[in-house]
A and B are shown apart, each in its own frame.
Chain A
């Protein structure tokens, strides 16, 4: 009886020691994340970095940004993968990087309704001094449109899952319809399943 009790106590103490009990800690938001093969933070950061790196040094873009900061409109990136991916987050990262580079300016189509509401309030609400009200019809039109696609090819044979992501982006001159710049980024992620779950 005593031996059984001792064995149980020892067993429990072993389990407590090896359990690596749950704990919360802060991680590094910029480090490489390899939790699973799904589209993750590292992929988003890689895509945004690679696209801005290339766009800022591409000869045709260097020419159009040499004397002025062109106004760009970002269209949503089409998600053609089988996953749910917040593509707006990718375009947000890219447009933020481009804006902070000091070479481009942006118009935000996602906020048009709020802007219209505010301008209507200023101009016809009767509460704002007309001398300080922002008038309609003075906004600057976008000269270029930035848009893209995100697609994936997934292969899974039970032992190994392979995901290939392709991100394509283009910059179109809205006046002429000519594509001034295009680039692709490829990412391959592989998940190998171990047999014993270790």
Chain B
């Protein structure tokens, strides 16, 4: 084997190893919805995910003076999806309520399944909300 062939083979090996070593990056952006003066605004940051998922029927009510929000999440895809979602809450002035305390929740969505996401605001101050859904990335 001459040097040229060896370099060629090494190049191929590097590409192969890089592809299996998991150094590739996946999109961690997602889709969302937020309360707005004229109803609900939908946000699509990840068009690939928006082709597989649909967020709709965002509703809100007050229970015991706490804001309760519900949204429907439908899979437009035939296979299972591993997702996480988060609700965030804001007061009248737009300041985040209980900042850094809204945890992401895991969700397994089967092909074409529709689920309801629901959450209650942590305090009575919350007047506005955002919902965000993104994929769970295997690390």
For A20, the chain B residues whose CB sits under 8 A away are 21-23
**Which residue of A is nearest B19, CB measured?**
A18
Which label, helix, strand, loop or mixed, suits the secondary structure of the A interface? helix
Cβ–Cβ contact B123 & A49, under 8 A: no
For A132, the chain B residues whose CB sits under 8 A away are none
Cβ–Cβ contact A3 & B1, under 8 A: yes
Cβ–Cβ contact A42 & B17, under 8 A: no
Choose among B100, B118, B123 the residue with the greatest number of A CB atoms under 10 Å from its CB. Answer: B123
Cβ–Cβ contact B124 & A34, under 8 A: no
**Which residue of B is nearest A62, CB measured?**
B64
**Which residue of A is nearest B61, CB measured?**
A57
Q: Give the docked Cα–Cα distance between A51 and B131 (Å).
A: 20
Give the shortest distance, in Å, between A93 (CB) and chain B (any CB).
10
For A10, the chain B residues whose CB sits under 8 A away are 6-7, 10
For B59, the chain A residues whose CB sits under 8 A away are none
Give the shortest distance, in Å, between A15 (CB) and chain B (any CB).
9
A32-B105, A57-B64 known; A100 vs B17 contact (CB < 8 Å):
no
For A109, the chain B residues whose CB sits under 8 A away are none
**Which residue of B is nearest A55, CB measured?**
B120
Q: Give the docked Cα–Cα distance between A7 and B2 (Å).
A: 11
**Which residue of A is nearest B106, CB measured?**
A32
Pick the contact of B84: A19, A31, A65, A198 (CB < 8 A): A31
Cβ–Cβ contact B98 & A100, under 8 A: yes
Give the shortest distance, in Å, between B105 (CB) and chain A (any CB).
6
Cβ–Cβ contact B3 & A3, under 8 A: yes
Cβ–Cβ contact A97 & B122, under 8 A: yes
Residue-wise, chain B 90-114 has the 8 Å CB interface mask toward A (1 for contact) of: 0000000010111111100000000
Q: Give the docked Cα–Cα distance between A61 and B65 (Å).
A: 13
For A30, the chain B residues whose CB sits under 8 A away are 86, 100-104
Choose among B64, B102, B105, B119 the residue with the greatest number of A CB atoms under 10 Å from its CB. Answer: B64
- B38 at the A interface (CB under 8 A): no
Q: Give the docked Cα–Cα distance between A31 and B104 (Å).
A: 5
For B84, the chain A residues whose CB sits under 8 A away are 31-32
Residue-wise, chain A 30-55 has the 8 Å CB interface mask toward B (1 for contact) of: 11101000000010011001001100
Q: Which of A12-27 contact B (CB under 8 A)?
A: 14, 17-20
A31-B84, A97-B122 known; A18 vs B17 contact (CB < 8 Å):
yes
Give the shortest distance, in Å, between B97 (CB) and chain A (any CB).
10
Q: Which of A95-124 contact B (CB under 8 A)?
A: 97, 100-103
Q: Give the docked Cα–Cα distance between A164 and B46 (Å).
A: 32
Give the shortest distance, in Å, between A188 (CB) and chain B (any CB).
8
Give the shortest distance, in Å, between A67 (CB) and chain B (any CB).
12
- B78 at the A interface (CB under 8 A): no
For A101, the chain B residues whose CB sits under 8 A away are 66, 122-124
- B18 at the A interface (CB under 8 A): yes
Cβ–Cβ contact A17 & B18, under 8 A: yes
List residues of chain A with CB under 8 Å of any chain B CB: 3, 6-7, 10-11, 14, 17-20, 28-32, 34, 42, 45-46, 49, 52-53, 56-57, 61-62, 65-66, 97, 100-103, 198
Subset of 30 A-B contacts with CB under 8 Å: A3-B3, A10-B10, A14-B10, A17-B14, A17-B18, A18-B14, A18-B21, A19-B21, A28-B104, A30-B86, A30-B101, A30-B104, A31-B84, A32-B104, A32-B136, A42-B104, A42-B106, A45-B103, A45-B105, A49-B119, A52-B120, A53-B119, A53-B120, A56-B64, A56-B120, A101-B66, A101-B123, A102-B123, A102-B124, A103-B64
